[in-house]
């Protein structure tokens, strides 16, 4: 718009209504996402080692991961990074996905194997990719690198695809979310000071 280019070339999209959306990881965020997708008229398939009754109540149906990948037009990742989820979406998982599907990752960068994703994009099997996180983001995100040279060749390759959208780990960056994070942190500190246990304990494994 700023450049005065109002052509529609390359902007053809698809309706969400009637599509199948796969949600991997159905904690609070995954369940909220599933509920929104149901509201758009999507069939929602879910995968999680611990099924969430709230997600089922929202209209999602739990299926094996292989079925979710094979049937979903959109696959959205909402799982934590653990040894079990590291490179969960690898070359094998990508081959199992429906040809032309969209993959979205707003969880943790290392849940997907970035090099395998690039191969799937080059072949055309993966239709499109949306990332708010990246495996090696610590050397990139939250700083202005516009005046320098990107030294991460893998990330630089991702930027060349017209069907890839990347944001710099900013999905959390709202006044409301930051306030909630601060409130939770203070509540954890208060609980630990009073009882020796935080209200919301997090294991080291989940931070790996």
**Secondary structure (DSSP) of 106-122:** -S-GGGB-HHHHHHHHH
For residue 6, the tally of other CB atoms under 10 A from its CB is 6
pLDDT-derived band of residue 208, with 50, 70 and 90 as boundaries? very low
| Averaged pLDDT for residues 116-145 | 93
pLDDT band for position 144 (cuts 50, 70, 90): confident
Identify the weakest region by mean pLDDT among 3-7, 129-133, 198-202. Answer: 198-202
Mean pLDDT of the chain: 93
**Tokens linked to 125:** 């099997």
Q: Is the dihedral of CA 110, 143, 172, 71 positive or negative?
A: negative
What are the two backbone dihedrals, phi and then psi, of residue 45, each rounded to the nearest 5 degrees? Answer: -105, 140
Task: Name which of 22-31, 89-98, 114-123, 189-198 the model is least confident about.
Answer: 189-198
What 3-state class would DSSP assign to 102? strand
pLDDT at 206: 45
Q: What strand order describes the sheet that includes 74-77?
A: 61-62, 43-47, 20-24, 74-77, 101-105, 126-131, 164-166
Longest CA span, the chain: 62
pTM for the full predicted model = 0.88
Is 70 exceeded by the pLDDT of residue 205? no
Strands 101-105 and 126-131: parallel
The predicted pLDDT at position 207 comes to 42
User: Is 202 a residue whose pLDDT tops 80?
Assistant: no
- The radius of gyration of the chain's CA atoms, rounded to the nearest angstrom, is 19
What distance in Å separates the CA atoms of residue 62 and residue 46, rounded to the nearest whole number? 5
DSSP string, 6-55: ---TT-----STT-EEEEE--SHHHHHHHHHHHHTT-EEEEE-SS--HHH
Q: Which residues are part of the catalytic machinery?
A: 108, 137, 169
Within the chain, all domains assigned CATH 3.40.50.720 are found at 20-173
pLDDT in tens, 33-66: 999 999 999 999 999 999 999 999 999 999 999 9
Torsion of CA 67, 73, 79, 81, to 10 degrees: 90
Assigned fold of 20-173: Rossmann fold (3.40.50)
């Amino acid at each position: 718009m700023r450049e005065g280019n109002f052509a529609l070339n390359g902007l053809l999209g698809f309706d969400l209504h009637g599509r199948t959306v796969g949600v991997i990881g159905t904690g609070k965020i995954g369940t909220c996402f599933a509920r929104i997708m149901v509201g758009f008229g999507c069939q929602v398939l879910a995968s999680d080692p611990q099924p969430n009754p709230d997600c089922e109540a929202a209209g999602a149906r739990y299926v094996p991961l292989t079925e979710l990948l094979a049937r979903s037009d959109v696959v959205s990742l909402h799982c934590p990074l653990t040894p079990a989820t590291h490179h969960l979406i690898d070359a094998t998982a990508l081959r199992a996905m429906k040809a032309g599907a969209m993959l979205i990752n707003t969880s943790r960068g290392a849940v997907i194997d970035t090099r395998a994703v690039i191969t799937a994009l080059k072949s055309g099997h993966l239709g499109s990719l949306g990332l708010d996180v990246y495996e090696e983001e610590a050397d990139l995100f939250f700083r202005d690198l516009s005046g320098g040279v990107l030294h991460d060749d893998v990330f630089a390759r991702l930027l060349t695809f017209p069907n890839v959208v990347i944001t710099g780990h900013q999905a959390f960056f709202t006044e409301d979310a930051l306030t909630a994070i601060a409130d939770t942190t203070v509540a954890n500190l208060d609980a630990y000071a009073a009882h020796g246990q935080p209200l919301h304990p997090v294991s080291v494994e989940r931070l790996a």
